[in-house]
Amino acid sequence: MSHNKIPPSIITMLERNINKKIRIIIDPAYGFEGILSAVTQNPSGIWISEVEAIVLRATIAQPIPQVASREERGDILIQLNSVQRIEILANDQ
């Protein structure tokens, strides 16, 4: 079984956004928000500080998923292989 290698362009993009608030979507209903602290290449992952676990919910009337609940967490490392989507958030969100 081969491991998916993360392209260097993804690592570079993430490194440019260190100290910015990001949202990491793990699956359509769950993710994390926090401050991007560091990017690692081996294993390929990102450290996030001031983390909140978020639950996302979409409805027929509101098809774009919205944050339905939040729970504070500590600092975490997320492997990039398990990430569906990464969003860089504006500072005021």
**Residue pLDDT tens, the chain, 93 long:** 345 667 778 888 899 999 999 999 999 899 999 999 999 888 889 999 999 999 999 989 988 888 999 999 989 999 999 999 999 997 654
Give residue 1's pLDDT.
Answer: 37
In the DSSP assignment, the letter for residue 15 is H
d(CA 74, CA 50): 6
Give residue 44's pLDDT.
Answer: 87
Give residue 90's pLDDT.
Answer: 79
Q: What pTM did the predictor assign?
A: 0.81
Residue 42's domain comprises 8-88
Residue 2 lies in a domain: no
Q: Answer for the pair 41, 47: CB distance below 8 angstroms, yes or no.
A: no
Total domains present in the chain: 1
Q: What is the CATH number of the domain that holds 70?
A: 2.30.30.100
